Amino acid sequence: MDLFQKCWDFTAAKEVMEAGIYPYFHALQSGQDTVVTMEGRRTIMIGSNNYLGLTSDPRVIEAAVEATKKYGSGCSGSRFLNGTLDIHIELEKQLADFLNKDACITFSTGFQSNLGIISAIAGRNDVILCDKENHASIYDACRLSFATMIRYKHNDMQDLERAINEVPDNKGKLIVTDGVFSMGGEICNLPEIVRIAKEYGARVMVDDAHGFGVLGEHGRGTAEHFGLEDEVDIIMGTFSKSLASLGGFMAANEEVVHYVKHNSRPFIFSASIPPANAASALCALNIIKQEPERVRNVNEIAEYMRGLLRERGIPLRETQVPIIPVMTYDDMRTFRICKELLEEGVYVNPVISPAVPQGQSMIRTSYTATHTRELMDEAAEIFAKVFSRV
């Protein structure tokens, strides 16, 4: 059989293209902001993870430019060898201090961060307990680790306790969960996860890609939100959301970070974060420290938009974060609504099966600290117009 037969057989995306409702790969002609130019049209952006509005902040842009001038466009090697810059070390130090952890290690992407952390920490004699709705990078990391992975029902603490109770005492145990689940916008039940981990001798890792900069008084994420910063063993995060850059990190105990630095294949064998990305993430972190009101602003604008959508009868899944899922239920209907919203001037993200169960398709909308109420009023009216038609 031809290796490429699967390619010839894959027709689903082309069928949607032929129907004129393909919702992916729309090209931006401007930077990430609250209003963008997308394929020649003015478009309100409510499909971005730019939670604190820092991707277009002049200070962040200037930091990236100056770093490129000083260090060049790339590092030409891994952190393990020639690719460590002083700004990498400074970024790690400041992240560790901000998150109240001993140490920090950075990775070239968020996806790679989970691969690098989990595959180094867990091995053949270990068990990973994984929420069913964790990010795809966590699932791939579990496979790469060769540890036994046990999935527990989404945010179901009874099922987690049932599963961990069956793990032999001679196995290392790691509970891994998203802090904020990226599609549905739920916050993990971290107090119960910590309780179960203590009772059964497990370690806790939180992927806080969508919690960092969004939850907690200072934006330190899910652990700060629950007052459990000392109880979470590993905090993972990304730079591509609140930190307005590209990359990822792990903050943990110094000995754990030291071990990962010397045993993580994705870290050792990948080129380091380019200077511009490191500098822009460092600048964004300093802005978060200086302007904690951005955390409040992004949550307030999301709550305002929830109210507008409720008033117009738009079916929502209720959340407490700047992610508002709008229920559309059917895959093809989801594509049609996304197409009409874009034509009217609003960009959103379609979420269809198998990313969600069949019949639970949704539109994922997400919000930014620099969105205005006037923009939300405009976007809500467009939602009402499109939903009345489709």
Q: How far apart are CA 129 and CA 173, in angstroms?
A: 7
What angle separates helix 136-145 from helix 110-121, to the nearest 10 degrees?
A: 30
Q: How far apart are CA 284 and CA 219, in angstroms?
A: 12
Closest alpha carbon to 175 in 185, 153, 160: 160
Write phi, then psi, for 84 (nearest 5 degrees): -95, 125
Q: How far apart are CA 271 and CA 116, in angstroms?
A: 13
108 carries an active-site annotation: no
- From the candidates 88, 101, 210, 371, which is the catalytic residue? 210
- From the candidates 241, 242, 245, 361, which is the catalytic residue? 241
- From the candidates 182, 264, 272, 366, which is the catalytic residue? 182
Write phi, then psi, for 212 (nearest 5 degrees): -65, 130
262 carries an active-site annotation: no
Segments in 77-188 forming alpha helices (H):
86-98, 110-121, 136-145, 157-165
Which tokens sit at 117?
A: 């952390």
> What secondary structure letter does DSSP report for 245?
S
Residue 10's Cβ-side half-sphere holds a number of Cα atoms within 13 Å equal to 5
Q: How far is CA 201 from CA 130, 158, 163, 173, 189, in A?
A: 16, 17, 14, 7, 18
> What secondary structure letter does DSSP report for 187?
B
270 carries an active-site annotation: no
Q: How far apart are CA 312 and CA 380, in angstroms?
A: 8
Maximum distance among all alpha carbons in the chain?
A: 60
Coil, strand or helix at 222: helix
Q: How far apart are CA 363 and CA 355, in angstroms?
A: 12
Which residues are catalytically annotated? 182, 210, 241
